[in-house]
Structure 1
């Protein structure tokens, strides 16, 4: 795994995790966040995930978050990289990838406004946190032959 964070920030910063979930058509599952005061990146399309609880690893956090937010089983998660959400939560966020081919409208969404699959070529029209957009772009570039 590759980290884009200065080493001095690793031990004390809060941790989080997000999942880039794709379907067999290559579309990515995005989550429209609530527009509420006090949350990072309100009314932005983002990835499912969230903050790690004290003592919880990013891998355990993403499994818990996927279940809590959308009832989504975490199968075959691959840890990708970590980066700093410098302008939002301030967390060091670990990115994971997974695939899922279900109907996003059937998921029991417990946070946020909507879940929807988007083709990568349509992502530039969405309001996405910069660190999430950069992570998605990095992941998609690594998948190219």
Structure 2
């Protein structure tokens, strides 16, 4: 009896999207994640975003995630680059830039502990996942002075 053995398909890489949101003062909106052991980077300051649903593009993901997590509709959403969370979720994330000038304390936060704008010079004292810090540095280095 001859059996056909078909190799299992390669697992697809988990994907997601995050947004670097700035206001007119050049501050960045960061999200303090819940302190739960089953999530990647618990109790770290991060960017808003999340995992891509099946059949969803990165642009659709970030629009959905911003709305779900914070009721936020950012302006001028621009796709920047991809980055991988090698030491956390393992996801490859598409990084977007956006602008929003509202009061973060008024947003209906559905996940996490807090949203807060920070001046770039204050980011060094925050606990931020390395891949998020890299994405922020890469974005700010590319911004015109």
In the alignment, which residue of structure 2 is the partner of 1:14?
14
User: Highest CA radius of gyration, 1 or 2?
Assistant: 2
Aligned to 1:51: 51
Displacement of 1:83? 1.1
Deviation at 1:133, TM superposition (A): 0.1
Tell me how far apart the structure 1 counterparts of residues 59 and 71 of structure 2 sit (CA, whole Å): 16
How many angstroms apart in 1 are the aligned matches of 2:140 and 2:74?
20
Whole-angstrom CA distance in 2 between matches of 1:83 and 1:102:
27
Aligned to 1:61: 61
Structure 2 length-normalised TM? 0.91
Shift of 1:75: 2.7
CA shift digits 1:106-127 (9 cap, x unpaired): 0000000000000000000000
**Displacement of 1:51:** 0.4
Aligned residue pairs total 135
Q: Which runs of 4+ in 1 moved over 6 A?
A: none
CA offset at residue 55 of structure 1? 1.4
Aligned equivalents of 1:76 and 1:37: distance in 2? 35
Q: Tell me, in whole angstroms, the C-alpha distance in 1 between the residues paired with 2:144 and 2:42.
A: 31
The whole-number CA distance in structure 1 between the counterparts of 2:132 and 2:107 is 22
Match of 2:23 in 1: 23
Structure 2: 5+ residue stretches without partners: 1-10
RMSD of Structure 2 on Structure 1 (CA): 1.0
Distance, in Å, in 2 between the alignment partners of 1:31 and 1:116 is 7
TM-score for the superposition, normalised by structure 1: 0.91
> Does residue 130 of structure 1 match 2:130?
yes
- C-alpha separation between the residues in 2 aligned to 1:42 and 1:126? 13
